Structure 1
């Protein structure tokens, strides 16, 4: 879905999110969070899968419809000059914030960008064409081998490093918890910086309800306010 909102798009950063009131009724009652998928001038896009009433309502909206959106919210990805190569690894709908990040990296950086996408099967694969349009050839893993390699995305990450394809990279990731745990292990073993956008249930989106707390080495943090992007090496599962 593409939204025309100059005030939101101007301040948006990859990794941040918006919350959307999907209906004027109480069904659904709570706003729904969505990461920025693409950011272009006065417009931005969100990417979602229709899995319930809220996303069904969004999917039935027509061009020109108005929508109640709050954002940008949270803290996005930070890119410092010390970063060498970049590895972006996503599982499922976690591809959304990494597409916005790749968009920014291509516009502002000349260093190498590697993208690994994991999906259950070819039908569930998202955004391959979007990365190709940015000049990035993504490495694809599917659980059933219907497209790309029959492997987990994390296995292709190990393979990339074993072949020397990325030189002391920074890893950016978003996806299922099991995938993030494995990536955190790889990053610690190799002494790499690794940042993840956490996929956690978010209710209020502004740090009031305390429903999205995660445990870190220093204290409990709120995904909606302190994140959703965290140093993955700081998370305690």
Structure 2
């Protein structure tokens, strides 16, 4: 039995006895021993779901899908995590992708239907009302920040307005250990909006990009950025250095 198989067996036993923290640690060790096995990642994602560590579920499933794009378990568990994070559109996309592979899976159909209810117009209306209350002042804590983020991140202009209100020194406490590539993507679009519409926003852009490098899980979030997001961020950094004379060498290294 290989080291990875031995660790997996111990992790499976821990999961069976509801020792989910132990299971996560053991599955992670198994992944270190054999990074080519997507089953280890999807099993770890399931244990993380039990612990409601949804951002980490997304990262595990991303890694599994990089190895096997049609992995139904990875799509399903990522969809569950997205739904728990109120990222309903992304959850729907994953449920639908999984159903293309397993069209007769009734459990998947049921979860897609449940998730789709969150996308009804009345939810959008409620979110708009709440948005007015939460993006006109700095957040009082991580929970308030997460709510305002969910309500503003799809609009680069709104997100830029919200980010302007937040002291960048608060970023580590607000993001905690939940920073994902999706956060960096949305922020890059907000900063790109600021670059195009507000040419004097360079200092804020510099401060935000610098502060994000100090947030937990930053390196992992950068690792999972797609090509377009990476290029957008590097273009912003180039703008900061070339047009505004800021020292950006450290940013180029962090985001490249």
Normalising by structure 1, report the TM-score.
0.31
Structure showing the higher strand proportion among its residues: 1
Of the two, which has the highest radius of gyration?
2
Normalising by structure 2, report the TM-score.
0.30
Structure showing the higher helix proportion among its residues: 2
Instruction: Indicate the structure whose relative CO is greater, using CA pairs within 8 Å and at least 6 residues apart.
Output: 1
